[in-house]
């Protein structure tokens, strides 16, 4: 009887991320529908803007479902380090969507500020009730998605949860504003919409800040920290030419190492030292793939 092949770590990762994205997509679509209907019925630009803000979450989920299929593919000849950066790139694209949305909302809000509509928004208790329910839903979504993003080490899920978290803050501000609009402060509607646009821009900046270092291979760990970890292993004389970069939640480290001259000729002992260094790096830094090149100690450094 043939054995069922074990599910690879990449497949488990892909299934985990896609499961989270599908669940949040369903919740986000419900939030968008609720806000959009409430905003149209009330004639409130701020509520409609908030619905547009939330719709980006749904778009992100759809993009993520497609991207993670490729991001978790096994390494191949053309991508020996895997395809995980596709996910980071997708998170970067999300930030671009946010800036475009910010621009469009800002134009609409400024238009209403300088040319107010003849009919002011009518905020009902139904509108307020819908906002309360969507805020509670977004709280659940952002906590769930951020927790799973950390557990799965998914740049995309974490980036998406940051945007959903911004939904919570923005919607709370809109909710407070709705009470004031009911009191006759109609000018607050476009002002709140403009505030939503600013907050969207801030969310995009936060995502840019977290994804650009990965895309440009910024060192995730200072070389001095890596050298300190390696120096704690018995048999290590010194390390140099240390480089590191992150990729899909994993850290890749390259270094050159000198071992104690007393074991330098013992290949088994030298190999054991390199294995121990790798284990120490994993214990201290998490998912690590280390490439260690052992060099003979220069004569002028021999004891």
Residues 153, 270, single domain; the answer is no
Any domain includes 50:
yes
71 has a pLDDT exceeding 70: no
Q: Which of 157-166, 261-270, 273-282 has the highest mean pLDDT?
A: 273-282
Tell me if 188 is assigned to some domain. Answer: yes
122 and 37 both lie in a single domain: yes
Is residue 167 predicted with pLDDT exceeding 90?
no
- Count structural domains, the chain: 2
- pLDDT band per the 50, 70, 90 thresholds, residue 3: very low
The last residue of a domain, from among 215, 238, 264: 215
3 part of a folded domain = no
Of the pLDDT bands very low, low, confident and very high (cuts 50, 70, 90), residue 92 is: confident
| Same domain for 172 and 122 | yes
Which of these three, 162, 190, 215, is where a domain ends?
A: 215
- Domain-located, residue 195: yes
207 and 147: one domain? yes
**pLDDT of the residue at 108:** 79
The verdict on residue 252 lying in a domain is yes
* Residue ranges making up the domain that contains 158: 9-215
**Do 191 and 114 have their domain in common?**
yes
In a domain, 137, yes or no: yes
The residue ranking higher by pLDDT, 136 or 184, is: 136
Whether 235 and 280 map to the same domain: the answer is yes
Whether 36 and 130 map to the same domain: the answer is: yes
Q: What is the pLDDT, as a whole number, of residue 5?
A: 45
Within a domain: 1: no
Assign 86 a pLDDT band (cuts: 50, 70, 90): confident
Confidence bin at 8 (pLDDT 50/70/90): low
- Is residue 156 domain-shared with residue 257, that is, in the same domain? no
**Same domain, yes or no: 54 and 96:** yes
The 3 state secondary structure assigned to the chain is CCCCCCCCHHHHHHHHHHHHHHHHHHHHHHHHHHHHHHHHHHCCHHHHHHHHHHHHHHHHHHHHHHHHHHHCCCCCCCCCCCCCHHHHHHHHHHHHHHHHHHHHHHHHHHHHHHCCCCCCCCCCHHHHHHHHHHHHHHHHHHHHHHHHHHHHCCHHHHHHHHHHHHHHHHHHHHHHHHHHHHCCCCCHHHHHHHHHHHHHHHHHHHHHHHHHHHHCCCCCCCHHHHHHHHHCCCCEEEEEEEEEEEECCEEEEEEEEEECCCCCCCHHHHHHHHHHHHHHHHHHHCCEEEEEEEECCCHHHCC
Answer yes or no: do 26 and 166 share one domain: yes
The domain that contains 253 carries what CATH number? 3.30.70.1350
Q: Looking at 154, 180, 215, which one is the last position of a domain? A: 215
pLDDT band at 153 (very low <50, low <70, confident <90, very high): confident
What CATH number is attached to the domain comprising 39?
Answer: 1.20.1510.10
- To the question of pTM greater than 0.75 for the whole model, the response is no
Domain identity same for 227 and 211? no
Tell me: do 96 and 152 sit in the same domain.
yes
């Amino acid at each position: 009887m043939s054995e069922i092949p074990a599910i690879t770590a990449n497949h488990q990762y892909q299934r985990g991320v896609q499961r989270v994205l599908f669940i949040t997509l369903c919740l986000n679509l419900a939030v968008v529908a609720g806000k959009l209907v409430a905003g149209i019925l009330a004639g409130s630009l701020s509520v409609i803007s908030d619905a547009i803000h939330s719709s980006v979450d749904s778009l992100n989920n759809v993009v993520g479902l497609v991207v993670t299929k490729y991001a978790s593919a096994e390494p191949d000849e053309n991508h020996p380090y895997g395809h995980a950066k596709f996910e980071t790139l997708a998170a970067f694209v999300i930030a671009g969507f946010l800036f475009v949305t910010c621009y469009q909302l800002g134009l609409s809000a400024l238009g209403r500020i300088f040319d107010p509509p003849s009919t002011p928004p009518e905020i009902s208790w139904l509108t307020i009730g819908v906002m309360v329910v969507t805020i509670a839903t977004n709280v659940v979504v952002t906590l769930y998605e951020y927790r799973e993003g950390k557990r799965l080490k998914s740049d995309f899920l974490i980036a998406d949860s940051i945007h959903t978290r911004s939904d919570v803050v923005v919607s709370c501000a809109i909710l407070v504003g709705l009470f004031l609009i009911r009191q006759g402060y109609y000018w607050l509607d476009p002002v709140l919409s403009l505030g939503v646009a600013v907050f969207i821009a801030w969310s995009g900046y936060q995502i840019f800040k977290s994804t650009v270092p990965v895309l440009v291979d910024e060192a995730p760990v200072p070389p001095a920290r890596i050298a300190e970890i390696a120096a704690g292993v018995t048999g290590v004389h010194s390390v140099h030419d240390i480089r590191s970069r992150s990729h899909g939640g994993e850290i890749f480290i390259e270094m050159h190492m000198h071992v104690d001259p007393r074991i330098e000729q013992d290949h088994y002992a030298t190999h054991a030292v390199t294995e121990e260094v790798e284990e120490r790096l994993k214990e201290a830094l998490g998912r690590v793939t280390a490439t260690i090149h052992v060099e003979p100690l220069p004569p002028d450094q021999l004891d």
